[in-house]
Amino acid sequence: MTTVRKKTISKELAAQAVLDAFKKLNPVVMIKNPVMFIVEVGTFITLLLSFKPDLFVASGVSRGYNIAVCLILLFTVLFANFAEALAEGRGKAQADTLRRTKSDTMAKLVQKDGSLKQVSSTQLKKGDIVRVDTGEIIPTDGEIIEGLASIDESAITGESAPVIKEAGGDFSSVTGGTRVASDYIIVKVMTDPGESFLDRMIALVEGAKRQKTPNEIALTTLLAVLTLIFMIVIITMVPMAQYLGVQLDLATLIALLVCLIPTTIGGLLSAIGIAGMDRVTQYNVLAMSGKAVEAAGDIDTLILDKTGTITYGNRMAAEFIPVKGVTQKEVILSSLKASVKDETPEGRSIVELAGKLGESWAESEYRDAESIEFTAETRMSGLNLSNGVQVRKGAVDAVKKHVMAKGGSIPADLDEAAQRIAKAGGTPLAVSVNERIFGVIYLKDTVKPGLKERFAEMRSMGIKTIMCTGDNPLTAATIALEAGVDDFVAEAKPEDKIAVIRKEQQEGKLVAMTGDGTNDAPALAQADVGLAMNSGTMAAKEAANMIDLDSDPTKLLSVVSIGKQLLITRGALTTFSIANDIAKYFAIIPAMFILAMPQLQALNIMHLASPQSAILSALIFNAIIIPLLIPIAMKGVKYRAMSADRLLSRNVLIYGVGGVIVPFIGIKLIDLVLQGLHIV
């Protein structure tokens, strides 16, 4: 997969985000964020007080103080809007790139009489039949109903190597915006205008249809409740202050309210959600909703296919086994000769393994050789050299017949070696030179490198991995042990996958799985997170709530990490936001009542210059902390594989304790600056 990682913040995005931040000051827009809407209302009130300080009640504060509070509150709102606009801007930039991919192309619509009619791709509807020839762009999503072609999907996936798609089977689905590199295909349109996967991806990444997730809604509700509680607290402070003989001006009360309510997370919450979706799309994964991304972060069990997910899917050479009387070098060299012109994955793996073991064969020695291709009838392949030597490799029984037909004999230990490989779940290929068998090549469905370590990471997070395969139990057990999965299901049928998912869900667990075939669709629909391959069938993609445009089955592991990062980022910044309010209490409360109650001097542990300096310093810190945290909200808190308890302890230490300490330092420094500038 080729995925371009963009800079978190570019000059162009930042400039546009600044303009959008002012546009978002519209109260109709702001009211969707209750916390920041309260701040905007406070800004408007202090703006009025800036012109007439005694507008509501008699006040002893200066016009300059009211103006300062108003400007700080305005920048607090603008910084929050800037964070959201910046996240949206990245999505819009990516959407523009996708729109260029989805250019309005012409399509060859197949008429009832078989003739072709040129129409715009925007006129195609579900059920139409189109023909796409070499070099032409596929106009919209559909399924191949006739033909076989090489499809260039680089415009969407970034992967330069074309993929083979054909009618029938699990690789018949095509995506609009991709190009036919060779041959032709007849495609049945499977979506109406505006409903293609590319259309949905554009809408999601630019935020046009981003729905708030359940966690986001719950947190927004909590923030609104906290805001309401603190408003009640501030209102009740007025009669208490009057009883103590303290006259509280309105600007100070507004400043206290803004510092008490969780403005930091309130300003960053939307940006965190948008940026989380953006990180998923950067991995070329189309998530149908933010809920799917969050669910990935809470996954307890991963269900994975074996072939193509845990293993390469192609059999790879693992070992050369000589028969009695033959050296290791001889069997390796004969296997190399039989495979040097074999362009299949198995043939290339034999040549590669021979090279790793130090064996090579000069091209001049086989340049004039006749290549014998594998056929279903002979079940063998190899070379006929110019000197009359015949080298063959293939199924053990086929090579035995070939050798016996030439008058050769069968080694006594050949069948034993072949059976040992078969019992281990591998495929044995016999190798012969003329009438003599030299040994056996052990082909195995090789586990992808690094998966064992990734599964160990999953285990450390408390995630269980289950491999589903149609192989026999012995083969399944061998692969499961090598891959390091926690459990496996052998000889699995589609209904068995659903049964495994339901069993885990009945235990209260969230389950994710990946698949690409029509027979995977029920299981993908049943799973809490279903990741379908873009190369798979339309049924699988419709059933899933995520689609991998790269068709990389192991992407599910990355999606889980992204989901966890999203949840951790939101939790960490919420913890920081609530924790940093503590310093503001110590700054503002003494400043408000210290004249009437000198005993509160004990709470003035920062020894701030004056009551007004304390209030302005806390308010300024409250404003500038939002833009300082934007890079973390955009990039996400770095995720480390560990248990939930350790993760919680780590984040509480960093963002909880840090959220308490940092504001004390920040507010004191701002106070010193204000003193130095003689502002207060």
Q: In this structure, which amino acid lies at residue 23?
A: K
Per-residue HEC secondary structure of 409-453 comes to: CCCCCHHHHHHHHHHCCCEEEEEEECCEEEEEEEEEEEECCCHHH
Q: How far is it, in rounded angstroms, from Cα 488 to Cα 480? A: 7
> What tokens does 527 get?
């799973």
Q: How far is it, in rounded angstroms, from Cα 71 to Cα 624? A: 12
Per-residue HEC secondary structure of 651-667 comes to: HHHHHHHHHHHHHHHHH
Q: Which of 632, 491, 643 is nearest to 575 (CA)?
A: 632
20 labelled binding-site residue: no
DSSP per residue, 361-409: --GGGTTTPEEE---TTT-EEEEE-TTS-EEEEEEHHHHHHHHHHTT--
487 labelled binding-site residue: no
CB < 8 Å & 24+ apart, contacts of 607-611:
608/667, 608/668, 608/671, 609/671, 609/674, 609/675, 609/680, 610/680
378 labelled binding-site residue: yes
Catalytic residue at 305?
yes
DSSP per residue, 251-317: HHHHHHHHHHS-HHHHHHHHHHHHHHHHHHHHTTEEES-HHHHHHHHT--EEEEETBTTTEEEEEEE
342 labelled binding-site residue: yes
445 labelled binding-site residue: no
306 labelled binding-site residue: no
Q: Which of 288, 264, 262, 144 is nearest to 210 (CA)?
A: 288
Phi, psi of 115 (to 5 degrees): -75, 165
Q: Active-site residue among 141, 278, 305, 581?
A: 305
Is residue 264 a contact partner of residue 625, using CB atoms and an 8 Å limit? Answer: yes
165 labelled binding-site residue: no
374 labelled binding-site residue: yes
Q: How far is it, in rounded angstroms, from Cα 300 to Cα 506? A: 12
For the chain, how long is the longest CA-to-CA vector?
117
Is residue 150 a contact partner of residue 162, using CB atoms and an 8 Å limit? Answer: yes
Q: How far is it, in rounded angstroms, from Cα 80 to Cα 57? A: 30
CA dihedral 505, 508, 512, 516 (to 10 degrees): 10
| Stretch (H or E) spanning 678 | none
Sign, CA torsion 362/367/370/374 = positive
Q: How far is it, in rounded angstroms, from Cα 116 to Cα 463? A: 53
Q: Which of 330, 399, 331, 340 is nearest to 365 (CA)?
A: 340
379 labelled binding-site residue: yes
576 labelled binding-site residue: no
584 labelled binding-site residue: no
370 labelled binding-site residue: no
CB < 8 Å & 24+ apart, contacts of 489-495:
492/468, 494/519, 494/520, 494/522, 494/523, 495/522
516 labelled binding-site residue: yes
Q: How far is it, in rounded angstroms, from Cα 553 to Cα 538? A: 16
List binding-site positions: 342, 346, 374-381, 393, 516, 520
List residues with catalytic annotation. Answer: 305
List binding-site positions for ATP: 342, 346, 374-381, 393
List binding-site positions for Mg(2+): 516, 520
